[in-house]
Amino acid sequence: MLSTAYKFVRFEKSKSMGILTAIIISIYLIGIELGMFFYLADIIGGIVGNANPKYAQVFVVKRQTENANQVSPFDVRWVNQLRSIEGVDETHGFIMTNVSVKFPNGKDAPAMIIGSDYPAMAAGPSSDLIYSGSLQDLAEPEIVSTDYYDNKTLRYDIQPGTRFEINGKSATVGLITRDAKGFNTPYIYTTSDKARYYSGLSSSLVSGIILTVKDPTKIESVVSQINSIAPDLKAWSAKELRTASIINVMTANNMGMSFATLVLFGIISGFFIVGLTMYSVTYDRIKDYGTLKAIGASSSYITRLVVTQSIIYALIGYFISLLLLIVSKIGMANAGLIISLTPTLLAFLLLTTVIISAGSSYFSIRKLRKVEPSSVFR
């Protein structure tokens, strides 16, 4: 069966190339779109995702907050009050506010400064995001972080030891993160004291509170208790706040709909282009299929033969698309666009390829079911 199917594929080289091209383009575009979608989702949820997972199980923000990238300050006394909640092991206030940065070349840019108490550094950056330096460096006077991929955004080649200004006050880069990018503006991490100093935020206010709940079974209870006793605040589990932030941004800007439309268009266009090309190949080889029926091949055998051909197309097309995606991933990473080709995404692309290719063989199968063995003699 496989050998016969491969002979059919190899015989019609020009049309086989057309089918493979349609599959490759469709899967490549779908992969790029989904990779960019997940990349944007990661940076939208970066405030939560970049936090130290050892401490950050629950986030407390103002009641009206639906997006972790847009928070409002509230009374710092809540940091101590929430420590008495059953199930809470530690509480960590954090500062997050917009600032303006200026570099020696005269270029300036907006940024977001994020500060939390040393040594926990609960708001981040997490250790797996550190590219150069260490969290201990942030304890030094004037030391802050920048991200490796934000050099183009900030229009300056930032290196460890680079001096610049934050809101007109001197700062020095002592830690460089990698892929701790912000959605709207670059993130600058430091301690909470320095974040207050650079931003001017009052010592009586915090932007949010991170709660450490070591027992995962108590997270839901802690969230519920806080939401019942603090009418002006809202507690979120880290996962829920990240998801809510992504949904809020994606729906507000219609980005989610745009990505979904492009992916759906790629699937539909690939399905019909492959289907019609395969139908054309089948029509050209109609006498060959008639011969197979004339020598005793059943309709189910012919169906399996066509489906096997489509799977061969799918596998070849998928692996070529995967190679192109890997090359694109490397090229885009150099520009700071990190496309994550996760096993789940790759499995989805493989399934989509098989569905497009095998599903589009329906047109050919329907045609061949009507073929009579006598057609070979006409």
Label residue 92 exposed, middle or buried (CB < 10 Å: 0-12, 13-18, 19+): buried
Query: For residue 224, is pLDDT > 60?
Result: yes
The predicted-structure confidence for 328-350, as pLDDT tens digits, reads as follows 888 887 766 777 788 888 999 99
CA distance 273 to 270: 5
Provide the pLDDT for residue 274: 80
List the domain boundaries for the chain.
2-43+254-377, 48-252
Provide the pLDDT for residue 4: 64
Label residue 311 exposed, middle or buried (CB < 10 Å: 0-12, 13-18, 19+): middle
Mean pLDDT for the chain? 86
Question: For residue 258, what are the contacts with CB-CB under 8 A and spacing of at least 6?
Answer: none
* Mean pLDDT score, 167-195: 92
Label residue 192 exposed, middle or buried (CB < 10 Å: 0-12, 13-18, 19+): buried
Secondary element (H or E) of residue 227? helix 219-229
Query: For residue 282, is pLDDT > 60?
Result: yes
Query: For residue 107, is pLDDT > 70?
Result: yes
Query: For residue 270, is pLDDT > 70?
Result: yes
